[in-house]
Structure 1
Amino acid sequence: MKQPLLVICLLCLSGMSLYAQDKTPFHRSTFIKVNPARLINQLEFSVEQELTSRLSLELGIAGIYTDYPDYILARKIDIGQKKPDISTEQFVDGRGLGFSASLRWYLVTQKDDISRAQGTYFQPVLLYKKVFYPNEKINIQGTEYENTGDKDVYAIQFLLGRQITRDRFIIDPYIGLGVRAKVYDYNNFYDNNGVADSRDGRLISVLPSLHLGIKIGLRL
């Protein structure tokens, strides 16, 4: 993940340099968006701030109320990958937060007097998520123990989209590719011939990702 992070940092520095050099006067608009495609497991909001006529900054935050989609990918779809020792109930009841930061370059813009964040864009995205799985109680020989677990997600995405503005309302469909690393940490107890056996585990999964979705929102 270090090389993609370095690339994004260089792109950010380049974008800020363009921002400092661009003296073209125009009203810098702010947009707030929601991603309905993610409602199956999280509520995601993002804010886009125009920096120049072709560059904008977008920051996002997500509240995760279930990790069931990851249960489908990790436990139900078998492509030979290793599987984390996390139970179905823990996946379903997982809670967490997600954060993202990105820069947008508008390649083909539709300029007007109100906003310039319109048209076709390229967007590299950095994303981090933290999911906490609920403790799961287990009884071994009359003694109660708790299985614990959590997950960290690190991702880089490269999106291509087209933002359409109608008065204050915006539609933002996109498609893209990326790489996602998931780090599962867990501690489980097992009945080893009547003796409680504790096992710490860590599973790191790195896989490519495909992104297809749409955001909707308003210009503030």
Structure 2
Amino acid sequence: MIQLYYSPGTACLAPHFLLEELGLAYELVLVDTSKQQHQTEAYLKLNPKGKIPLLIDQNNADLSLTESAAICLYLAEKYATHATNAANAHFNPAPASLQRAQLYQWMMYLSNTLQAELLSYFYPERLCDDADSAAQVKTHAEERVAQMLTYIDTQLSHSGGDFLLGVDISIADLFLFMLCRWTRGMQKPARAYPQLAGYLERMFNRPSIQNSFAQEGISAPYY
């Protein structure tokens, strides 16, 4: 059994989408951050970082893994091979292939650049000491996110298919959809960009996305 410790709408979404895409048996374990359950002694024993998500894979010596991008890469490599899940093998491109290289590039960009900037937008007070400075940090973070979304929008127009890597969906698409959802309250959210608009609609209509939102109790606006 696989367990995914989650808080609705957080960075748990991308791994949740992937578990659904791969058709794996798993258990969702709610960690209520509003009640500081992620800081309890019991949870900190499982994840000393006190963050969401956490994946425990009892099928692999009770492997315990944090970091959303790392969880997605692990699940794809372990459970999306031709031997175990041929229908979803495209989630795990061959080592050293062009698609594997592109996948690594996108995952690093999305997690290290776009996600990091989004965290500055949502938590500006972590970077300064007063409210006025925090407001400036938030404004500048939103400007940088807009530049990143413009770049992604352009890259989608050159991908050769409906997804970041072309004709096949990848874990990078699941990760991108999660991050684009986080922009829904911005002055120019991801859905306002010409290529991203259709892309996000296609992604939203996938059963994996619909099922994950329903299970986490997420309601409109979805992105």
Q: Normalised by the size of structure 2, how large is the TM-score? A: 0.23
Structure exhibiting the larger radius of gyration computed from Cα positions: 1
Q: Normalised by the size of structure 1, how large is the TM-score? A: 0.23
